Each structure stands twice: as structure tokens, then as C-alpha cells.
Amino acid sequence: PCCLVNFFIHLHHLSVGVCTKKTCATTDFACKNGQCVPARWRCDGEPECADGSDEADAICSKYTNTTTDKQANADRENAMNTKSESRQTCPPEKFDCGGAASKCVSLSWRCDGERDCENGADEDQCAACPSKDFQCRNGKCVAPIFVCDGDDDCGDASDEEKCTAPTCGQHEFRCNDSECIPALWSCDGDPDCKDKSDESMERCSRRTEPQKPRCPVGEFQCRSGECVHMNWKCDGDADCKDKSDEANCPLLTCRPDEFQCGDGSCIHGTKQCNKVHDCPDYSDEAGCVNGLNECADNNGGCSHICRDRRIGYECDCPSGYKLLDKKTCGDIDECENPDVCSQICINYKGDYKCECYEGYEMDPASKTCKAVGKSPYLMFTNRHEIRRIDLLKSEYTQVVPTLKNAVALDVDVSTNKMFWCDLYHQKIYSAYINKASDSSQQVTLIDSLHSPEGLAVDWVHKNIYWTDSGNKSISVATGDGRKRKVLISTELSEPRAIAVDPHQGFMYWSDWGGQAKIEKAGMNGVDRQVLVSEHIEWPNGITLDLSNRRLYWVDSKLHLLSSVDLNGDNRKVLLSSHHHLGHPFALTVFEDHIYWTDLEDETIYSANRLTGHDVAKVAEHLNNPLDLVVFHEQRQPKAPDTCNMGSLPNGGCEYLCLKAPQITDHSPKYTCACADGMELGPDMRRCAIGKLVTATTTSTTVTSTTTPPTTTTSSTSTSAATTLRPTTRGLTTAAPPQTPRITSTEPPRTPAATSTEVTSFSRTSQKSTSTHTPLLVPILATVVIGLLCTGGYLVWRNWRRKNTKSMNFDNPVYRKTTEDDDDEIHIGRHSESIGHVYPAYIYLSPSSLLPTLHPIYLYIVMCSGG
């Protein structure tokens, strides 16, 4: 027995010896206490080993390997060993911060206005503005074209000091405030001068001023021209730019048994101080005191920290812990918070580590990820021009001058091209950025639009997507505009902004109609789904953060800046502010900052995209700043063009090749698409004429003219075939009619080919069956017809007195009559076609109406000479 006991004791010692010896993987670093951490964390300036051995002087002073960027980061930390005589040198593409630490930062961060070196050496001895620029008193640099242009571009007005009144050119109009605009813009119905003097009654009274578009039913037209929802009028929140929706509103008063919230709304009096936030601004719980300190009794039941509140109490936890059941604290995984790191979070016991994606580097001072490469700059539309601001050097330049009403904007970084929509000209343009100031280099891609308000560029497959609120549609076209197609045209009310993700094949858009929402669908138009539909009123701008897989949007009605993931989950409000979000229109995101335009303040703001804090003005005193984008290669990460990866160009598609949504690993990479009115053939690549509506009439010409919101479509059927052809915006004109139009109070007996078709019968199409008769026959027939007409007239007059509804003869030239439209039903017209425009004339053959017309109608037709 003793030997057996000794054997087990010896075995125990052996097992203990084996377990205490831990071997780390080849990719890890073994701490002195046996802990394993990734080798790339060694000598990075932050101790990850519990005993700090990964940052020990003895190790870091000998560790000099510069084969990769991550290893180079570690090499920089070698200099932390002040006792070491050797000093690490930075590679040529890095800037040496100097000093004992000898840290290296990206050379592009030099003189960018941010201290990236701990000693600030990267911002020392920085030159002022380039010689060609004007330097403001506050240090900002602006292009010479902005000096003495009437706008405070510096922010301190130093660019507008000591300026003489400008002299306008021969083809320019001088506003009352001395601003110069193209002469063609004067008296065009659209104020372009800031003081609106180009549209003054004194100047334009003799000219025909175009009628301003009226808002549709259910919307209120502001005095400044915008349209907002009718239920937003007198709601206590100004939505019109001139605040006319809140003018002449009755004062809201609550009943004696109600409590009035701070925003003016009313709740029942019993809901005040009931420990529930019933008012939107929580004012019903303000000032309520119950006098009880729950934390005094058994710490309120909290396991760690109990905090007494004015109403009730709450449990809290120390750093590194979280509440598990509202009272008990447990260990926390910091990486569960998606905003704890700029990009990548790696959790390990007791702490976490932040890292960056490829193309970004960790800023040693701010511990945030910053993009490497060229300086990023912000491009934005300023109504009559497109400008850009260098986000690192604060250089302010003009890209495109003399535009009428630039609204939407996007870029293709790889080709250095820009695209924009002009709402006045109703077109989409493109140009190379370095040549865009020359109007001869600006190419018209898409025309004949209605209200193009959103634009997005597929930088991988070289297509463009846009929204049209007038057409209520979302369309796609090739980058040269030669091939285009409407992708979505149903269940859209007021589509506004659009963004695309060519990597995963999805597009996203906002719709601020009666049922406001944010939706997404495949870039080929399939798999449509709603992402956000609750607590959303006026979603203007949206943007995507592809690195962190989130969507951001601004709500101009609720004054919110919010975000969700790309599945519509994990919603978060970043900023709620009437001051900074008075009327936001568009936004974009880059690195750890989010930028947006505000129409009310005419300012571009920025804030931290993770917290919503650190709100700052980027540019102010603008003129209707609308869309904006960041131009940098990291905003458009590269991906393979799936339509041109194989041997067949354009994926073998005859017309459009569109990226398909990557729903699963087995999803198609792309699908082919055809022009409107066409459909894919059996091979799903070539296009054929779509299924056509056929008419049942014989030897007839079926013509219909419909008026959708943007274009007039004419459909002509010959030999039972229909061809769709877009026409001009104006109404279709026709030759003068030869017979008056006859209306009937009876519905048509024969079905029409479509609900918008009007069947016209031509005399020339009817075959004559008459035969030769004696001369006496026509004479007798004339007498008989005369008697019938006389009798018919007497019968008709008697019938007219007894009936409430009357026959109505429409003169084909003067279409308007004194009769109500509801009292007449046109031959060949269905009730659902009301509202469409029909041809101005119809040929009717009396013999063709014999089966359908009442005898009295026939007498009238014959007597009228028809």
C-alpha cells in the first residue's frame, strides 16, 4: 500500500509539472507568466501581458524586424527603451516623431491639423497656405476665386474685407447685393440672387413667369416653395425653410384635467410623476420628488453600486462589468459594443484590443483608425456650384461653377470622375474632376427626367443609380448613359437618397412619403425589403459605412442622426438636436467622422460617428448646401467586376449586367436585364419584345395616350400588336377631326384592349354593301328620313324633359362643356382610365354603332348629318 501511495504521489507531481508548462502557438508571444498573446502585439506600446513582459525593454530593444507594416509599428516602439543606444529609424513613407519614443506615423498625416505624434512634432514648422491660396485670419486656406465673392468662406469674414463692388460681365445680371449671375437666369421663375432681385416684380412683370408647381393633395406648400406633409402644419415644429407651416397657427391649450408637455402636447393629469415618461420630452417627470432613498435599504438589492435618483433608483457596475438582471453585475465582453473600437475589436480576458482594417493605421495619439494614402477631401453641391474641402489641409476650392440647381452628387474615385443631378434642367451630368470647370467637358448622361434627387455610383461595375420623386421610380444606367432601365416603380411615394454596396449587391434608399421608410433591394431590383419604418418621418440623406456594415441617416422632421446595421437591426440614435439638425439634407461618413449638410443653417457639420459627440462646423455661410461625398480610395474599396470576370464581356448580357444580391453562398453573382418594354429570352441573356396586349377588334386602329408623371407614352396597335414608344412631354396633337365626338350615358358593350385605349372606327375601313338602285329610291329615302328626323326630334324633346341626365355634344375644338364630367361615359373608355389624356377626336361610323346605340341616338346621329 505504501508503494502504491508513493506511486500516485509521484504521478501527481509529474502531472502538475506537465500542466504548468504551457506552449504558445508559433504566431503567439509567450508572456513570462505563461499567458499567450498574438505576436503582432509585442512591442506595440500597449502591454497585453498581465505582467507587461510583451513591452519589456530587454525584448523591445532587440526586436527589429521591418518586413510588414504591423512589424514596423512594433519597431517604432523599440525606441521606448531610453537606455538603448540604438535608435529605430522610420521607413521613407513614414514620418519620424523624434524624441526618445521615436514613433513613426503616416507621412500623409504631416501638417493635417491633428497632433498624431505625442510630442506634436508632425504639426511643427508647417507652412501656411500654398502660394496660390488666400490665408484667412483663422488660418484657413481658400481659393482666390472665393475672395470677395460675397460669401464668408473663411468663417471670420476676412476673405470679404476691403472688397470693392464686383463688375458683372456682359452676359451677367447684377443682383441688388452686387452678386453676379448669368443673365439667362433672370426672370426664369427661380430666384438665384440671394436677395431674389432677379425675379422681382418690377423687372419681370412684363414677362410670362412660369407657373410654379403646386403640391399634390395631402401636402402643404410653403411660401418658400417646398412641399411638406399636411399633418406637419401647425405641429409646433417648423419644416418649411421659411417656417410658413407654423405661421398663423392657433395656440394649443390643454383641458383642465390634462398636463401640457414642454412641446405643447397634452397628456392626462394622472400621468404626471407616475415614474413613466409619457411626454416626448419627458417633462411630465421633471421636478417630481418622492423623498425615498431606496439605496439606504440593503443597497437597493444591487450587487455592487446603487444610485439614488429623484424618482426611484438604479443599480450600476464598475468598469469591466455589466448588469445581468438589473441588479447583479457580471464580467463584460467589451467587444459586444460595436463602437468600442473604430474598426476591429479583439476581446481577451480582462481587457480588449483595437485594430484596423487594411488601408488604415492606428493613430498612436487618438487610438483611432486613420486612412492611409492621399488626402481625403469633401465634395458638396452649393446649388450654383460644386466645391471641395481638403479635410487635412483645409484647402477650399471650386470644382464646377455656374450650375443652375445641383442637387445630387457622387464620384468614381478610380476613374477620377464625378456625377451630378441638376433639378432645374432635369438631367444627370458627368465630368472628370480635373476638367469639370470647363463646361465643354461636361457630358449629359441622362435627360428627360422629372425630379432626380438621389444619385449613387456603382464604382465596381460602372453603373449609376438614381431616384426620381416625380416619376416615383428608381432606375439604373451604364456609366455612359447609353443603356438604362427602371428597376422599381411600385410602392414608392417620395424616394430621396440612394446608396449602393457593390460588394454584396444591395442598394438602399429613403422614402419620406406618407409611410416614411428606408428600404433595400438587390442592385438588380430583386429581394426588396424594409429596413426602417418606425419612428421615422422625413428621412432625407442616407450613407453606408461598408467597413463597419452600418447605414446612417438624418431625419429632418425628428431632427435625428441615427444608424442601423445593414439588416435593419441594432438601431442607435447618435444625435438629437434642433440646433445642429435643423433641416439636414445629406450625409457621408469617413474614418471616425460623419458629415452632413443643414439647409436651415446653410452649414456643413461633422461629429464622431460612434458617439455623436464633438459636433463642429466644417463650412458655413453656404447657399443651399445639399449633397456631399468624401473622395478617398478607402470610401470605395476595390472588388472584382463579376460581369467581366469570365470569357464573355458584360457577362454575356445583350443589354445590362447588374450585380445580384449575395444572400447566400449560392446566390448568382449577376443577372442580365433588358430595356423597359423588353424581357429576357429563354437563355436569360438576350432580350426580346415583351408580352404585348392584343386587341379583339378587327380592322381597327387602337390609339391611346397616357400621361404619367414625366413622359407621355403612346401605344399603337396594328394587326393586334402594340408598340410602346416614349414621346415628348407635351400633349400629342392631331389633325382636325371630321366628325363630332358622341358621348353616351351607357357603358360600352365591347371590352377594350386596355383600360387606357379608346377605339376609333374609320369610315374607310368599312366595306360598302350598297347596290345600284333606281333613281326613285334615293328620293323616297330622303322623304322617309325627313319624316323620321322630325318624329325623332319630337320624341327626343319629350324624352329630355322627363330625364335628369342629358346628352352632351362635345365640340372637338372646345373640349370643355357645361356638363359635369361625372355624367358622361365615353365610348370605349373604362372608369379606371379617368385622369389620362385622350385623343382630341374620334371617327364614328353610324353603321358600326347600330348594335350598341338606342334608336333615339341613331335618329339624332342621322339628323345631325353624321
pLDDT digits (tens, 9 = 90+) for 46-90: 777 878 888 887 777 655 443 344 444 444 444 333 333 444 578
Half-sphere exposure of 674 (CA within 13 A, CB side): 14
Q: How far apart are CA 368 and CA 364, in angstroms?
A: 8
529-571, pLDDT tens digit by residue? 999 999 999 999 999 999 999 999 999 999 999 999 999 999 9
Residue with cell 438665384: 192
User: How far is the C-alpha of 389 from the C-alpha of 398, rounded, in Å?
Assistant: 9
pLDDT at 193: 87
Q: Tell me how far apart the alpha carbons of residues 513 and 444 are, in angstroms, rounded to a whole number.
A: 29
pLDDT for the residue 218: 82
H or E stretch covering 777: helix 776-802
Those residues with Cβ within 8 angstroms of residue 11's Cβ, 6 or more apart along the chain or in another chain: none
Whole-number Å distance between alpha carbons of 500 and 507: 4
From 278-287, 454-463, 620-629, 668-677, the region with the lowest mean pLDDT: 278-287
In the structure, what pLDDT confidence band is assigned to residue 714 with cuts at 50, 70 and 90?
very low
Radius of gyration of the chain (CA): 37
Q: Are 95 and 122 in contact (CB under 8 A)?
A: yes
Distance CA 390, CA 396 (A): 7
How crowded is residue 55: how many other Cβ atoms within 10 Å of its Cβ? 19
Q: Which domains does the chain have, with CATH numbers?
A: 28-123 (4.10.400.10), 134-162+172-197 (4.10.400.10), 258-362 (2.10.25.10), 381-638 (2.120.10.30), 640-688 (2.10.25.10), 740-767+775-863 (no CATH)
pLDDT-based confidence at 745, cuts 50/70/90? very low
Residue 648 pLDDT exceeds 50: yes
Between CA 830 and CA 709, with CA 733 as vertex, the angle to 5 degrees is 60
* Closest C-alpha to 760, from 734, 795, 798, 790: 734
Judged against a pLDDT cut of 70, whether residue 488 lies above it is answered with yes
Alpha carbon 440 to chain centroid, angstroms: 29
pLDDT per position as a tens digit, 198-243: 888 888 875 544 455 578 888 888 887 788 888 888 877 888 888 8
Query: Which residue, among 762, 674, 678, has the nearest Cα to 723 in the 3D structure?
Result: 678
If you average pLDDT over every residue of the chain, what do you get? 76
Pick from 347-351, 479-483, 849-853: least confident: 849-853
Give the residue-averaged pLDDT of 839-854.
39
Q: Over 90: is that where the pLDDT of 153 sits?
A: no
* Spatial distance between the Cα atoms of 378 and 589, rounded to a whole number of angstroms: 10
Q: What is the pLDDT of residues 789-839, one digit of tens each?
A: 888 877 777 766 655 444 443 433 333 333 344 433 333 333 333 333 333
The amino acid at residue 502 is: P
pLDDT at 535: 94
User: Does the structure show a pLDDT above 90 at 516?
Assistant: yes
Q: How do 141-142 and 395-400 pair as beta strands?
A: parallel
| 75, containing H or E segment | helix 69-76
DSSP 383: B
How many alpha carbons fall within 13 Å on the CB side of residue 552?
27
Contacts of 667 (CB under 8 A, 6+ apart): 505, 660, 661
Mean pLDDT along residues 494-515: 96
d(CA 337, CA 335): 5
Residues 455 and 430 sit within 8 Å (Cβ to Cβ): no
Please calculate the CA angle 711-716-717 and round it to the nearest 5 degrees. Answer: 150
Amino acid letter, 47? P
Asked if pLDDT for residue 685 goes beyond 70, the answer is: yes
pTM: 0.59
Sign for the pseudo-dihedral over CA of 839, 845, 848, 849: positive
